[in-house]
Amino acid sequence: MIESFLITSRETLEASLVVGIVLAYLDRTNNGRFRKWVYYGIAFGILASMLSAYLFSTVAGGFEGRAENIFEGVTMVVGAFLLTTMIFWMAKQHRIALEIEGDVEKMLSSESMAFSYISIFFLVFVAVLREGAETVIFLNAANYTSGVSLIGGILGVIFAVIVGILLFVGVKKINLSGLFRVSSVLLIFFAAGLVAHGIHEFEEAGIVSGIITPVFDINPEANADGSFPALHENGVVGGFLKGLFGYNGNPSLLELISYLAYLAIVLLLTQTFKK
């Protein structure tokens, strides 16, 4: 549930930031006539995101056996890559408002009113579609590792929308830097788990070798009734850790190396992007 909440809240918050900054700038510069084009962009972006979700699920359901392993592995690695770009983008959040406002200012300064309307529409449309499409990929990748929680996903969307509203109507001062810092750390571990699980799927498909499989095994023995102990990677506690932090009780050496290497590289680069 937490991983679903984390994914949808961060993606929705990104889109909310873009929309909120655009609307705030339009109001501040007395360009309220462009507001409806922002709403058009939101509506069409959501519809396009729903279409991407349908197409993705249709494609994903058509694979079996080795092809399914490869598809799941690619989905996890791509999901980890997109999560990483999102983390880096959020690390630079103190410059986001200025960059977006600069883009909007250029659009409004065009001599063609039609061009300004269309530009504002596509700025918002692409922002919403991008976050929607990424959410589809992230949730599918999470589903392959630990499952997806509908309730967690919906709560994440609601939370992000509330934060966006409070931030731009001035009802409450939101500490975005602190919010992003905490969620970024959690997402880095989640993305590292996706990388390791993606490698595992490639091993299952015979594309790569695990080098040593497993390099260790700390999974408790299954219970007599066939259920799993809490600390087993498929148990209550282990399953939670598996979904959120990529815990694996019996990883191959290649999985372990990829997990630790990802953590080291991304944590280092994140600090660099903040400067």
Residue 257 is predicted with a pLDDT of 95
Q: Is residue 229 part of a domain?
A: no
Per-residue pLDDT reduced to its tens digit, 27-39? 878 888 888 999 9
Number of domains in the chain: 1
- Amino acid identity, position 269: L
Q: What is the 3-state secondary structure (H, E, C) of 111-166?
A: CCHHHHHHHHHHHHHHHHHHHHHHHHHHHHHHHHHCCCCHHHHHHHHHHHHHHHHH
* Mean pLDDT in residue range 226-234: 82
Q: By percentage, how much of the chain surpasses pLDDT 90?
A: 13
266 CB contacts (<8 Å, ≥6 apart)? 84, 87, 188, 191, 192
261 CB contacts (<8 Å, ≥6 apart)? none
Rounded CA separation 267/230 (Å): 30
Rounded CA separation 35/55 (Å): 31
> Both tokens of residue 101?
């406002």
Q: Is residue 68 part of a domain?
A: yes
Q: Which SS3 state, helix, strand or coil, does residue 250 take?
A: coil
| Mean pLDDT (the chain, rounded) | 81
Q: Is residue 211 part of a domain?
A: no
Per-residue pLDDT reduced to its tens digit, 179-213? 667 777 878 888 898 899 899 999 999 999 989 98
Q: Is residue 31 part of a domain?
A: yes
Per-residue pLDDT reduced to its tens digit, 69-86? 898 888 888 888 888 887
**Helix, strand, coil percentages in the chain from 3-state DSSP, rounded to 5:** 75, 0, 25
* DSSP conformation class of 33: G
Q: By percentage, how much of the chain surpasses pLDDT 70?
A: 84
* Mean pLDDT in residue range 200-227: 88
Q: Is residue 70 part of a domain?
A: yes
Per-residue pLDDT reduced to its tens digit, 4-56? 777 787 778 778 878 887 887 888 788 888 889 999 999 999 999 889 888 88
Residue 171 is predicted with a pLDDT of 46
Cα–Cα nearest to 219, from 202, 237, 203: 237
* DSSP conformation class of 223: P
Is the peptide bond prior to 214 cis by the omega test (within 30 degrees of 0)? yes
Q: Which domain holds residue 90?
A: 2-171
Residue found under tokens 């830097």: 177
Q: Is residue 188 part of a domain?
A: no
